Homo-oligomer: A and B are copies of this chain.
Amino acid sequence: MPESSALPVSRIALIGAGLIGGSWALAIRAAYPQIQITVYDQEPQHRIEALQLGIAAYAFDTLEAAVHGTDLIILATPVGAFTSVLTQLAPVLGLNTVITDVGSTKQGVIQAAKTVLGDAFARFVPGHPISGAEKSGPLAAHADLFRGKRVVLTPVSETDQGASAKVKLLWEKTGAEVHILDAAKHDEIFAAVSHLPHLLSYALVEELAARPDAALIFSYAAGGFRDFTRIAASHPTMWRDISLANTEALLKELDAFSHKLAELRSALKSSDGAALLGLFQRAQKARTDWANGPTG
């Protein structure tokens, strides 16, 4: 083993100093002050902020410089940039360097990594921390973001177990609970509980905002609207990339939801109070049970 100390890795390159990557880096530095973290972000301002906030000790303006000599690379850019980043990384990768990501979709990322990385694909550990906020950028990062949250790893048959173990340990140090899921199942689940709600929220706001009396309409929006549309303030590029990376599962969810909406429409159209009440009651019970349960 190259590391003789208790450190799981000695030098980490963070690619993308946003909310998620920045928060993970802060939590790792809190747990292991000896681990050196370098950062690359294409936004000069993010590199400066990452240094100022203590997310990384060194910032570089090229990907190659940032990853040089590191034994772990964290991909934390929007998912849409992964193929391009991995393509740049492949030729300069250390022989034992582990790569992990924090992308919200997993099958597409795995496919991209497999195509680009060759043998090094065995050291790619696909990951997804279940946490986030409508805020983005390094200024939103904080070391406690993942405390008590779940992190999903979706290793495949080729994935090196030692690589997975290192990534798992670094997540556990943030206070998160690490779960293993099949990548396809992961993508289905998150299309349902995360990606579709984002699309619906964006769709509602955009539909209303395009109307001539949008200002009047929005002036009467209140708490319910605020909650429902909070995720419509999310990072548009990130959500474009997630949508494009998880299209198949998302289309299935969209169709299931549209089917349910058609059922609701028909109950409304025929003033079927019993059908409406039944649907609302089942939803209320499920939502309340979830909120009162261990993950709600």
User: Which of A's residues lie within 8 Å of B, judged by CB?
Assistant: 80, 130-133, 149-150, 152, 189-190, 192-194, 196-210, 214, 216-237, 239-240, 243-244, 247, 250-251, 254, 256-261, 264-265, 268-269, 271, 273, 276-277, 279-288, 290-291, 293-296
Contacts and interface: CB of A to CB of B under 8 A. Distances in A.
Contacts of A221: 193-194, 290, 295-296
A276 to B, nearest CB: 5
Contact of A283 (B194, B205, B243, B251): B205
Contacts of A80: 273
Given A222-B193, A224-B197, A287 B207 contact: no
Given A203-B260, A207-B260, A230-B287, 8 more contacts: A131-B222, A194-B222, A194-B225, A203-B279, A220-B295, A236-B283, A247-B268, A258-B258
Contacts of A196: 204
Nearest to A282: B206
Nearest to A256: B207
Contacts of A192: 208, 217
Nearest to A198: B224
Given A193-B208, A236-B277, A254-B268, A224 B218 contact: no
How many identical subunits does the complex contain? 2
B130 A220 contact: yes
B202 A283 contact: yes
Contact of A244 (B218, B251, B271, B284): B271
A103 to B, nearest CB: 15
A191 B130 CA distance: 33
Contacts of A229: 197, 287
Nearest to A265: B254
A201 B207 CA distance: 17
Contact of A257 (B203, B210, B219, B240): B203
A254 B80 CA distance: 32
A280 B230 CA distance: 13
B287 A233 contact: yes
A237 B279 CA distance: 11
A207 B240 contact: no
Contacts of A285: 209
B217 A193 contact: yes
A177 to B, nearest CB: 11
B236 A199 contact: no
B202 A200 contact: no
